[in-house]
Structure 1
């Protein structure tokens, strides 16, 4: 016996498989019958917001922006070995956002506008 919950799950899975293949079959140059039937997801680095300075970054992301996978705040000392410090706060971890604002990472440790 098929329960209503199982029927809904089967319908959702069928649509998840059928819709992308239908859109791919239409091709890039096909004209859909209406504008609302066309679905496109585009991710581009230009979509990430560029900030002018760290003050603007801190208004949106109080702990700064991190490159994904960054585990330490590397502090450089003149004439001494580099020091690994624990990251303060919870910086926004986003590759596209970091690459758009990498010029704000003065010490190139993967944290732009980090809290020291």
Structure 2
């Protein structure tokens, strides 16, 4: 076997494996459940939206919400008006 042919294949597999495992760990680590809207708004001023296409049912908001399905799902209890945006301001 030729080392020049094997080395790029092994290197590619190593990079793909490390990238896929790294993104799974960082996604799970980023999800945090907050105690109340005051705490959540310290980190995310506009609240957290489940998707980028959701519309606010309430009044005028001053900040754009952060979009994250996982973060919204973890803090779903704080979406009182059920418009898929938790703690909007």
TM-score of the superposition, structure 1-length normalised? 0.53
Q: Unpaired segments of 5 or more residues in structure 2? A: 1-7
Deviations 1:48-68 (A, max 9, x none): 011000000111111111111
Q: 1:45 to 1:106 in 2, by over 3 A?
A: farther
**54, 63, 66: which one aligns with 1:92:** 66
C-alpha RMSD over aligned residues:
2.8
Q: Unpaired segments of 5 or more residues in structure 1? A: 1-14, 25-37, 76-84
Q: Residue 52 of structure 2 aligns with which residue?
A: 69
Decide which structure has the larger Cα Rg and report it.
1
Q: Contact conserved, 1:62 with 1:91, CA < 8 A, in 2?
A: yes
Runs of 4+ aligned residues of structure 1 deviating over 6 Å after TM superposition are none
1:69 is displaced (CA, Å) by: 2.9
Q: Contact conserved, 1:70 with 1:110, CA < 8 A, in 2?
A: no
1:44 is displaced (CA, Å) by: 7.9
Q: Number of paired residues?
A: 76
Q: 1:108 to 1:45 in 2, by over 3 A?
A: farther
